[in-house]
Each structure stands twice: as structure tokens, then as C-alpha cells.
Chains A and B, each alone.
Chain A
Amino acid sequence: MDEHEVVDHDTVPPANKGLLAAAGVLLLAPIVALMWVSSYSRVEPKLWGFPFFIWYQFLWVFLCSAMTYAAYRLVLKARPHRAMGDAMRQPKKHGRRGRHQRGAAMGDGTDAGLHDDQPFDGPEDVR
């Protein structure tokens, strides 16, 4: 295999540790907040008739979603993909380009619709 190439693939690809740590904090926050039950197990203040206990947890659905998405962007930036291909004789500085260069990649059919106005598009913005 390509372990004997210039790149030793039996290593962890380089990453920006600071960004990874920031992503870790974003991912940990919802877990800590929701496991700390005594901080929200009360009825007041109510919101549109909903006890605090209920609406606070609903709020975390959206906070957690936003934080997970932020972590996703951070992680993509922190550790660009290091291609393992035989043709790659040296590590690339940036994320792998041209996801379709290898011919019909899996998932193209349904993925195609994602690369337009979707806010959740991934790798191509990171280059």
C-alpha cells in the first residue's frame, strides 16, 4: 500500500489543535447543560404557558443544532483531508479538490441537489 510513499499514513493527519479544541467545547456544552438537570427542573418562568423545564429543553434543540453545525465547519477547517491516493506524492495543503474527479462517485445522484442554495453544503466552501 501507500504507507511507503512520502506521506506515512500510519500517522494522524496534521490538525489545528486550537480549532479542534473550540469544536470540542461547542460539542460538550449541550451535553453539560442538559445533564445538569437541577439548573432547569422548575416551572417558572413560563413561556406561552410552557413550564421552564419544557421550553428550556426545546431551546437546546436549536442551540445544539447550531453549535454542532459550527463545530462541523471548525473541524473541516482544522483538519483538511489528507488524501491517501497513490497519485498523491505529497500532502496537499488544502482539502481534496474535485470530488467528482474519480468518475461517478457514490451518492452523486442525490447529492447533486445539495450544492445549490443549501446552507448545509460542506467541503467545497473550505478550500
Chain B
Amino acid sequence: MSQLGAALPAANSGGVNVVALTILIVLFLGVTVMGFLATRWRRPSSMESLDEWGLGGRSFGTWVTWFLLGGDLYTAYTFVAVPAAMFALGSVSGFFAVPYTIVLYPIIFVFMARLWSVSHRHGYVTPADFVKGRYGSRELSLAVAVTGFLATMPYIALQLVGIQAVLEVAGVGGGDNWLAKDAPLFIAFALLAAYTYSSGLRAPAMIAFVKDTLIYLVIIVAIIYLPSKVGGWEAVFGAAEEKMAATNPATGKPNGAFIPGSQQMWAYATLGLGSALALFMYPHSITASLSASSRNVIRRNAAILPAYSFVLGLLALLGWVAIAAGTKPIGLDGKPNAQLVIPQLFEDMFPSWFAGVAFAAIAIGALVPAAIMSIAAANTFTRNIYKEWIKPNATPKQEAQVSKLVSLMVKGFALVFVLLLDKQNAINFQLLGGIWILQTFPSIVFGLYTRWFHRWALLAGWAVGMVYGTWSAYNVVNPVTGAHFGGSIANIPGIAQMGYIAMTAFVINLVIAGVLSLALNAAKVPKGIDETIKGDYFADEGDPRVEKLNLGPHEITASP
């Protein structure tokens, strides 16, 4: 806390919004204290085991799960990256998030209940656990674990960009040396790390209530108040259409798309579908789903979660409200930075105290998912890499310790992403993670239905998909800055249309997995031992072995 106090005077040089900043800090600290206290909430007898620390004892019911999923899924992506993309590049780059978060739910409805059942029957905590049990393949399981770990990092980086955007607009930071400029980011990072470290998943669940209340308050005010202040929705759409049609002097092309043109429909559709297929492959999404108390809670949630999609769409449109309002998102370095557009819009249009509340909503809204993501990535590392390949006889206490340490490490890697990579198009962080994580889809989801695919064929398809996806993404060069990894859409071979690289890589992955499975099955190459039975995929709360995780001796840890 004294660190924060020390950082303030230094920041006074650069147009600090004192009222907003004070409220931001007070709310932020309040939530942090809640995070520490959360350890006491429905306190388990011990926080020492991975089960307790990572999955909150798996005792969450429908409403907690609902908030947890919301906190998990609608993040800095929603209120910084998507509106920024709408503001700078238009609907194809930003509004695809709406169809993405709509088609998401029918998709998870279909397979997630199965994954819940089989995971609870066999004590799986991560997707890699399931892959190992289903295919009897440590190698395939390692591939899934490494991909989950890797793909989570840019996603956490996106959250840190969100926090940084808020602090930058509030006037914190600035100055010549990099340490002073990024000090607030480091402080936010340290607080996040501290409460995640001390209380695991319980902290984010507790905070999700506060966060969602704050966010809904800010959104309702923003959606009703802001458009009327800039002349109504007609004026908003008029200004957006005009800006998108205008020519960008740097590229000689229109700034962006007001609605997708005939050459952009594939891009819009594949971005939406690819992101939807990818999302529930992330370890953090699966962790949250497995936290549900029964198989049907997940399906019930799939029907009620779209409320968040509507909110996401309205927030996306705030990017266009900012166009009508003439918002100028200029960073502390004096250069325009689209990522700052929503915080800047709030600062320009709201009274200072409410801008502070809004900033807190955005910052905490980025913090919670970052915590959940890093815990899930750490669990994956511990179970599927450390225990499987490095130290098979680790005690539960050692596992929990490694998990905590790795969750810090993951945040550290994400911090490196923020400091090194181009933050101008933050939505691309998430899309890049999607390219990688989608390559695990065949092993996980197809595996829930059939053993026809051969484990080595799936591994080969995954490898080719990863290489192709990474290579294609590297070759997308930002036309203005000349930087690699400048975007996530590229020409789809054979169609002459632009599309999301993840989907192209996914199709290549599938073709290879299919063809090689035919060959390997015909050659009778051993398929590996499947430890699951068909009934496992339909098990529910109350069936044998379903209520508790089978993780080892620390099972004595009482469930609340």
C-alpha cells in the first residue's frame, strides 16, 4: 500500500485526474482486501492441496458459477480491445465478437456436459488429463498441456494492457525512463499476484460479484447517457460510417468496415466461429466449467450466459460512440493509441468521480480473469508437465507449491508480452492465442465422442496446425509499423478470401489427423489404452466417484 502512495507524487507531472484516480485506488484496494479475506469464505480445512487451491473445492453452485464464467469470459477483451478495434478498424475487426459469443453457447452445450461427466468420474482437472486417460498417450497429453500454457500468456497480456490503459488515461505513469512509465503496471501486477497466490480461485469468485456489479452499473450509465450526449444512435452510426469510409493516408485504403463488404464475409464468419470453438479449449474456461456442481448446471448456464453477449455488443458500440464524441486517445508518449479510447471517452464525458468508478470496473474486470487464467495455466503445468515428466512422486503439498509459483511465472511472461509487443491492436493477442489453442480441439472434443482418431495422427495434425498457424501469423505484417504478428487474418488457400488463420490451420489439422488415422488404423498401430467407459460420459452428481476428485492421499481434505 505504501508503494502506491509513493507512486502518486511522481505521477503528478502528467495531467492526473486526482478524483478519478483516488476513487480508482480506493475501489481497487477494497477489492484486494476482499481477495485476502476470501480465503476465509466457506473455509476449507486446508488450502494446501491443489484441489482446494485451484478449483475452490469444487463447491460452486449455479449462481457462483455464472458469475465466475462471466468474470472469466468478459474481460479487458470486452471493454478495451473490442471497442478499440471498432473505433480504429470497424465491424469486421471488432463486432465479430458478438456472433462469437452467441454461437459459443450452443457449441459448449453440446460437448461440455460430457467433459464434465468424464472428468468427475476420473478426477481430471485439465484437458490434458482427459486426453491422457482417453488415448493412453503421454505425448498427446503433453502437446495439449503445452499449448494451453502457451496460448494463455497472450490472453493474460491482453488483460494487463487493459489495466495499463486505464492507469495511463488516469494520468499515472509517464516520464522518460521505462521504470517510471510502467510503475503502475508493476504495482497492479504485484497486487494481482499477491492475492491470487494467497487464496486461489476463491478470490476471483468473490471478487466477481463486486466486479460484475460495478461493470453493470457503468455499462447502464454509459449506454443510456453517452449516446444521448453525442446526438443519439443515429449520429453515432453516421459518424462511424463516415470515418470507416474515409481513406487512411498510411495505406491508401478505407479506414475500415462499417458493415462487412462482400470480400470480408469469410473473415467475419471465421473470426466468430474460430474464436467460439477455441474459447473452451483454454485451461481457464475448462477449470471454470468443471467447478460447476453438476452436469446440467453447465447446460443451464449456456442458456443464461448470452446476457453477457448483449452487454458485449453494447460495449463494442462504445467504440463508435467515441468516434461521434470525437475522442482523441493520445498516450502519455504523445502518440495516438486506440487501446485508450474507452477510458478516454469515460474521462471526457463523465464527472471525475464516476470516471473513477468506471476505471475501477475496467481494471478489476481485467484483474479477475487474469487471476483465473494464471491459476488454470499453473494447474496444467503442475499436473501435466511437472508431475508427469519432471517429478512423478511429488506430494500434494509440493504440487500446490509449484502451482502457485508457476502462476506467478505465467503472469511474469504475460508482463514481458505487454512490455515487448505492439499494444496498438490488443485484440490480436487474443486471436493469436486462439490460433494455438484451437489446434487442441480435435484431441479434446472429438475424443469425447469417438476413439476412431489415432493418437499419433492427432499429434501430427496438431503439430502441423501449430506450425502453419504460427508461420502464417508471423507473416502478417502491420502495413504502418512493419511489425510481424500484425494481425490474425490471412488468405485462405484455394478460396481467394481472407479468413481467420486459426480456422485454416484447424482444417489442415483435421485433414492430416483424418488421413493418418485411416492409415494407422489400417496398419493396426497400437491405439493406446482407453481408461474411460461409455457410461462415464453421462455420469452426474451422485454417481460413484463423481463427488470427489481422485487426486491422491490429500483426498482427506474435507469438502465444505
Contacts and interface: CB of A to CB of B under 8 A. Distances in A.
Contact of B313 (A31, A58, A71, A110): A58
Contact of B106 (A28, A53, A76, A99): A28
A107 B297 contact: yes
Contacts of B258: 43, 51
B112 to A, nearest CB: 12
A79 B538 contact: yes
A18 interface: no
A90 interface: no
Contact of A37 (B269, B304, B536): B269
Contact of B534 (A1, A11, A49): A11
Nearest to B57: A106
B285 interface: no
Contact of B540 (A31, A36, A81): A81
Interface string B263-290: 0010011001100000000000000000
Interface string B237-270: 1000000000000000000001111100100110
A51 B259 contact: yes
A92 interface: no
A83 to B, nearest CB: 6
Contact of B535 (A11, A57, A61, A109): A11
Given A109-B560, A112-B61, 20 more contacts: A3-B533, A9-B533, A12-B534, A30-B106, A31-B103, A36-B269, A49-B234, A50-B233, A53-B91, A68-B306, A69-B303, A71-B106, A79-B538, A83-B543, A86-B544, A106-B294, A107-B59, A109-B61, A113-B63, A114-B61
Give 5 closest A-B pairs by Cβ, nearest first: A107-B293, A110-B61, A9-B535, A69-B303, A107-B61
Interface of B: 42, 58-64, 91, 95, 98-99, 102-103, 105-107, 109-110, 232-234, 236-237, 258-262, 265, 268-269, 272-273, 292-294, 296-297, 299-300, 302-304, 306-307, 309-310, 313, 317, 533-544, 547, 559-560
17 contacts: A34-B102, A35-B273, A36-B269, A48-B233, A57-B95, A57-B98, A58-B98, A58-B310, A65-B105, A72-B302, A75-B299, A84-B535, A106-B541, A107-B59, A110-B63, A120-B62, A122-B297
